[in-house]
Amino acid sequence: MKKTIRITGKYLWIPITPGAKDSIVSFYYENEKIQEICIETGEEEPCFYAWYDARDYQGGSIMLEGDYEESWFEHVVVRDEKPCNPGKSRPLIHYAPEFGWLNDPNGLIYHKGLYHIYHQHNPYGVRWENMHWAHTSTPDFLSYTQTEDVLFPDEEGPVFSGTAILDQNNCLGFGADTIAYFYTSAGRRSHWSMDHWFTQKMAVSTDHGKSLNKLEGFVLPHIKEENRDPKVFYHKESDSYIMVLYISDDTFYFFRSTDLNEWEKIQEITIPGMWECPDFFPLVCEEDGVKKWILWSADGYYCVGEFDGKCFLAQKNKEGDGIARYQLYDIIRDNTEKADRNVVRPYAAQTFQETGDRIMQISWITSVKKDRNYAGILSLPGELSLTASSYGYRICISPAKELVKLRRESFETVIKDREDQKSGPGCASLYSGEGQALELELTFRDSRELSDTGDSYIKLSVFKTLLLIDLCSRKLTVGPHRILLPEEKEYHLRLYADLDVFELFVCKGLTYAVTDNESGSVSGSVEIEYSGIRGSIQLHVLKKIRISESIGVE
């Protein structure tokens, strides 16, 4: 079916009915195809509206062509304002888009006093499809400015993940303040792009990250299957640019360039269990000052090694017959050792460029809730460090220092184990309130004597989500997660409780987990029950982050 609509306003409202049939709808202006989207086109009153920015076509007409019904088209309208859809508000301390599906963070870079965050985005529904790059920026992770999307699908494919780099050597000729963005053009992932393959491409911004312009040609042509997700950075020691690219299965290629244009393959590495969304960065160990390079992949698996600009030499496992692979995230597995992808989890984390000695990371949290206008949120910013332990070098993640400024008011409770065990465990009510996100810091230790046979545990109920810390078995249980704690004299746990999810930093960041807020609410109480424990709890009531929408690009 073909229908033409006169563009008399700024936005074309696109009716969406989740669960209805999929339709491929193409947009044409003066007989030229300008967009193709896959959406759910129902025949009834739509559940909500997405929007298409039609300001460049005002005064003209756009033709919509697709297998939609006449009744669906009747709900397509043109307005000067974006639609305001009913639904619950966004999380209080986590970033979520105003509307649509969010996944992998892309192109993270600190530039001119702002952290620029791009991410995979479907602006036409709350499921994975129609991959764009959305953009938001923040000076402090407390207030965000969300703009319109900045990279769009075209005839070569949807826009998949990638990275950003400051072209400080002016290799591209646009000036030393230019930001270059490397991304995957995902050919054959849309009807429009069936004549193309997965290739690596580049866009640039000459206005400090506000708008991105695609460059012609390939950075890398198609190599194999769905090769994707380029990570690019400048390696000062070898005065060269390095790209790490996911190829297929568990294989990555390393490339080298001196000008960001011509790339030569320098290494191929295979690591069982690691795949897509690579990151590659150095960390200096706090204890001994040793510098190590980290190869990271989507599920939070990583390996540690040396890099000289030409070859990444990863540490071997104990048996010496393969690369040692570790994991920062706690993810439940089935009997096949495969991650359960139905569990809410952090995924596809990336680090920011241009942050100096600070290695800062955010990830996609795969939270999908009903009655939301969005699906998926970004994690809180984390700061990575390297620690030396009896079992080798390991990554730790801690909440970024900026998050301390979220604290509005704080309370402290001392945990004292009751001398008379027969009187039962200790109990306390820590908090009761409405509509506030919380941060909890627990420092605790086993207070039992060696001869004691009683329990040593903490039961913490936060808005009806239960956390159980059992020091007899050294195990922490929250939602579907079972986290084994190392044997230490004192334990530290930090919890952020928000509307959709909880983020949990355990043992000074050696383990990191995300789980559902089972109640879907931040109203109610925080209760504690404990036995055989001594320590303290700090509870912080948090301020809400501020997200503003900027219409268009300045």
Residues 171, 261 contacting (CB under 8 angstroms): yes
Query: Which pair of tokens denotes residue 182?
Result: 């490397």
Distance from C-alpha of 269 to C-alpha of 272, rounded to nearest angstrom: 10
3-class secondary structure for 347-407? Answer: EEEEECECCCCCCEEEEEECCCCCCCCEECEECCCEEEEEEEECCEEEEEEEECHHHHHHE
In single-letter form, the type of residue at position 152 comes to: F
3-class secondary structure for 227-255? Answer: CEEEEEEEEHHHCEEEEEEEEECCEEEEE
Q: Annotated active-site positions, please?
A: 104
Q: Dihedrals φ, ψ of 55, to 5°?
A: -65, -30
The SS3 assignment for 312 reads strand
Query: Which pair of tokens denotes residue 44?
Result: 């009834």
pLDDT tens-digit series, residues 11-36: 999 999 999 999 999 999 999 999 99
Nearest Cα neighbor of 158 from 186, 118, 125, 191 is: 186
Hey, which bits of 159-250 come out as E strands?
159-166, 179-186, 198-205, 213-214, 228-235, 240-248
How many of the other CB atoms lie within 10 Å of CB of 36?
20
Residue 87: which residues within 8 A CB-CB, separation 6 or more?
Answer: 48, 371, 372, 373
Distance from C-alpha of 504 to C-alpha of 439, rounded to nearest angstrom: 10
Interstrand relation of 382-389 and 374-375 (parallel, antiparallel or unpaired): unpaired
Please give the share of the chain, as a percent, with pLDDT higher than 70: 95
Q: Report the Cα–Cα distance between both ends of the chain, in Å, rounded.
A: 37
Map out the domains of the chain with their CATH numbers. 2-86 (no CATH), 100-399 (2.115.10.20), 404-542 (2.60.120.560)
pLDDT tens-digit series, residues 202-253: 999 999 999 999 999 999 999 999 999 999 999 999 999 999 999 999 999 9
H/E element holding 283? Answer: strand 279-284
Per-residue pLDDT of the chain (554 residues; tens, 9 = 90+): 999 999 999 999 999 999 999 999 999 999 999 999 999 999 889 999 999 999 999 999 999 999 999 999 999 999 999 998 877 789 999 999 989 999 999 999 999 999 999 999 999 999 999 999 999 999 999 999 999 999 999 999 999 999 999 999 999 999 999 999 999 999 999 999 999 999 999 999 999 999 999 999 999 999 999 999 999 999 999 999 999 999 999 999 999 999 999 999 999 999 999 999 999 999 999 899 999 999 999 999 999 999 999 999 999 998 999 999 999 987 655 444 555 566 899 999 999 999 999 999 999 999 998 888 999 999 999 999 999 987 789 999 999 999 999 999 999 999 987 654 456 799 999 999 999 999 999 999 999 887 777 899 999 999 999 999 999 999 999 988 888 898 889 999 999 999 999 999 999 999 999 999 989 999 999 999 999 999 999 999 999 999 998 644 33
How many of the other CB atoms lie within 10 Å of CB of 196?
18
